[in-house]
Structure 1
Amino acid sequence: MTDPFTVSILLIAFLAFGGLSMGLAMICGSSVYLIMRGFDPSIASETLLQGLFNSYTLLAIPLFILAADIMNIGSLADRLLRFSQALVGRFKGGLGHVNVVSSLIFSGMSGSAVADAVGMGKIIINMMTKDGKYTKSYAAAITAASATIGPIIPPSIPMVLYALVSDQSVGYLFAAGIMPGLLMGVAMMTMNMIIAHRRGFDVDEAIPLRDMPGVTFRAIPALLLPVILLGGIYGGVMTPTEAAAVAAFYALAISVVLYRSVTAGQFFETLLASARSTATVGILIAGALTFQYVVTRENVPDQLAAFLAQYDLGPVGFLLALNVLFLVLGCILESGAILLIIVPIFIPTAQALGIDLVHFGVVCVVNAMLGLITPPYGLLLFIVSSITKQPLGKIVRDLLPFLFALFVALGIITFVPDFVLWLPRLLGYKG
């Protein structure tokens, strides 16, 4: 007799590679499993509703998406980019540094790599290629690579997804992402400087120091957003979900009232775009919650733990194997699917090996983000290729040095947990 779980997996793979969204594919595969097992198919709906109703934190996702979309249509991105240019634009490979720094700053508001690449990315790519100082493929490569930093530094939609499946504190996960995000930024800027010297990139026109106070002043309202968010969360004033609501309201308020850069028509279009993005994420979460029931029924986590125990990997070997697996999966699966489907299977094993789950979450999220730029799938690669009209092959060639730098950073993040957990412990984390 055909095994229902095998049929479910094959059906999900067939539907997903056939063009159906991963969320819907998982719902279909899970429903077929329930029918073949003789269970009531309504269990899928019940599991989904219980998962959603018990996860107040999930409300943060559509609110962070809305905040990012509002920042993209307002002038916040322009002001932040100008501020970044004033900070690091005067150095060798200046606009490359600006690209990375702007991602670091913008990430403190949107929590989305795609939002960073589509919004800030378009602007900086145009700046880099305008006078022919940088090739389009190089501008696309560094833009895609720097966008992966966004969801590591808080606020972070992937961290919220990990909190959903691991039952860990969103606040501590946010704190744990700060040092790794900064490390990734430094690694990329170092590689950009090396490439700038090798290729003889011109030093970009610097913003005069006398203009710094004015540039900074105009950027202050935008720069205050991450301060308000993180201060509110770690000060105990707001939950992460409430902070997401504040982020959306604050972005709208300063864009409409202070900067007067958003019209009613633009805001309506932004609401529609945010709703579409939220629906996409929502379907993925729905499918993952349903499929998790199937995985639990089949006792997959315990079977996996028993299988790995045969090889006596230990924490270091387990994390190394996991990094390799996630980077391979990143070639074919989107980051949300990895975090919601694959990661929960490994959480019991990580706990059994004594791996801190906040540290484990950061490792998983970093891997999932690097999957966004891992050929051949790499969603961010397709986005920047579409923006620049450059062949994927040329972009990948220019991306490889940045991938190497990010892999070095990933090694430190993976095997030096104290580096990741230093800030959460400073804020009271007992792990």
Structure 2
Amino acid sequence: MSFTDPFTLCIAAIVTLSLLGLPIGHSMIAGSILYLYAAGLDMGTAAEQLLNGMYTSYILLAVPLFILSAEIMNSGSMTERLLRFCNALVGRFRGGLAQVNVVQSIIFAGMSGSAIADAAGTGKMMQKMMTDGNKYPASFAAALTAATAVIGPIIPPSIPIVIYALVSDASIGYLFLAGMLPGLLMGVMMMGIVAWSARRRHFPVEPPVPAREIPGITLRALPALLMPVVLLGGIYSGVTTPTEAAAIAAAYAFLISTLLYRTTTLAGSYQSLLSAARTTASIGMLIAGALVFNYVVTVENIPRALSAYLQAFDMSPTTFLIVVNLLLLVLGCLLEGTTILLIVIPVLIPTAQALGVDMVHFGIVAVVNIMLGLITPPYGLLLFIMTNIGQVSLRALVGEIMPFLYAMLGALAIITFFPDFVLFLPRMFGYQG
């Protein structure tokens, strides 16, 4: 491969433009157009691939709708009511507020589908609650919030799973089901780390919520708690597609916040729409760039060449998954998760299929790996977000997050080596994989 090779020029352009500060989506579009020019191909193909990919993928509509539902929840009082409910459940134990942080992430995971939304939404509230009165070290609170936010995109709904379904043609419904047990496993492991830390470091015990108040707290939180039921019930009953269910979830969050809780104002609704539009535009440009670059990768025949290369090593499916885990964990420290899903995963899918790896299981393994990259030092995106929210140093945050990261790596090992654990729920609903 020479420096004048079209694909080399394409990669060099993408890397250079990214380092100069151009968003990665724009960089991929520019690099791909350069490839088409250098290879003597029609440069209009870039626009054709972009438009065809964006406008024929009905599934992509679920992404902005999940983002909007999370923004509406954060602007109203739904999140606060959920936090009170979680506090009534586990707040009375030693390290109770820390346990609340884990439980709220498990519950909120069924509503936002985004780790960033979880950290920036409920994460801010939990950080303030845990550090008021110096109950918990700010670095521990920030580390726990970053770690628990990772659960969000594993338990449905999940924006990364939607994107994986786009590139793999796997069923979103079965992927959502497959994410439930792994997400709960990670939550249980985090609660175990919190309980161990609470006893070792003598974290405070919160005043227990009187039993007579629990029914009222539950009743006030019930409309918010029913949101995952509305969302997932529509999908698995066959009444709605995942995209239609996402639209219903956004409408449900809006109606509950405005008509029942009466906490969302016109100005608040506008800000929710504005914030959701900005996030959607950012993700949309990344997807657009990836669609054009994937055409370049296909023209270069890279997926097939890589598949033939890996199969030459006579790998077993388990060995392949170990290699994928190592690769994605390293890439997760350096690249944004959506970029990995759109660029790296499509290259690995042909090999996985040739080795007989189940596409639903592979999707959950990939998403968990990518989510762990968000909290893996030194460049995990959530680490930088929480240093800003928690006003703590990166060094202190990394020191506190390592026990949680080790626990989640243990969960990843179980998810990787025991596919039946991941596929148990999908098979209950008729999956044949």
TM-score range, shorter chain: over 0.9
State the 1:325 CA deviation: 0.8
Q: What is the aligned counterpart of 1:234 among 224, 233, 236? A: 236
- Cα deviation, residue 299, structure 1: 0.6
Partner of 2:178: 176
1:161 partner letter: I
Deviations 1:192-246 (A, max 9, x none): 1111111111222221222110110000000000001111100001100000100
Structure 2 match to 1:119? 121
2:303·2:348 contact (CA, 8 Å) conserved in 1? Answer: yes
Matched, 1:186 2:184: no
Letter in 1 for 2:386: V
Write out per-residue CA displacement over residues 339-382 of structure 1, whole angstroms, 9 at most, x where no aligned residue: 11110000000001100000000111111111111112211111
Cα distance, 1:281 vs. partner?
0.5
CA shift for structure 1 position 312: 2.2
Match in the other structure for 1:35? 37
Distance (whole Å) between structure 2 residues aligned to residue 19 and residue 140 of structure 1: 28
Counterparts of 1:294-305 in structure 2, within 5 Å, are 294-305=296-307
Residue of structure 2 equivalent to 1:249: 251
Who is 1:206 aligned against?
208
Q: Identity over the aligned pairs, expressed in percent? A: 60
**TM-fit CA distance, 1:311:** 2.2
Corresponding residue number in structure 1 for 2:290: 288
How large is the Cα RMSD of the aligned pairs?
A: 0.9
Q: For residues 132-167 of structure 1, what are the alpha-carbon distances to aligned partners after superposition, in whole Å with 9 as ceiling and x for unaligned? A: 121000000000000000010111110000000001
For 2:190 and 2:299, locate their aligned partners in 1 and report how far apart those are by CA, in whole Å.
Answer: 43
Which residue in the other structure is 1:402 paired with? 404
2:164 paired with 1:162:
yes
Does residue 380 (structure 1) correspond to residue 382 (structure 2)? The answer is yes
Match of 1:7 in 2: 9
Identify the residue that residue 316 of structure 2 maps to in structure 1: 314
Does residue 337 (structure 1) correspond to residue 333 (structure 2)? The answer is: no
| Higher alpha-carbon deviation: 48-57 or 392-401 | 48-57
- TM-score normalised by L of structure 2: 0.98
2:395 and 2:16 mapped to 1: Cα distance?
27
Alpha-carbon offset, residue 254 of structure 1: 0.5
Query: Where do 1:68-79 residues align within 5 Å?
Result: 68-79=70-81
Displacement of 1:54 after TM fit? 2.2
Aligned to 2:142: 140
> In the aligned structure 2, how far is the partner of 1:92 from the partner of 1:411?
29
Question: 1:417 offset after TM fit, Å?
Answer: 0.4
**Structure 1 residues 416-431: aligned runs within 5 Å:** 416-431=418-433
Letter in 1 for 2:215: P
Give the CA deviation at 1:306. Answer: 1.8
Matched, 1:100 2:134: no
Pairs within 5 Å for 1:343-362: 343-362=345-364
List alignment gaps of at least 5 residues for structure 2.
Answer: none
Q: Does 1:196 align with 2:198?
A: yes
- The CA distance in 2 between the partners of 1:358 and 1:386, in whole Å, is 36
Q: Is 1:63 paired with 2:72?
A: no
- 8 Å CA contact retained: 2:307, 2:350: yes
TM-score, normalization: structure 1? 0.99
Letter in 2 for 1:417: P
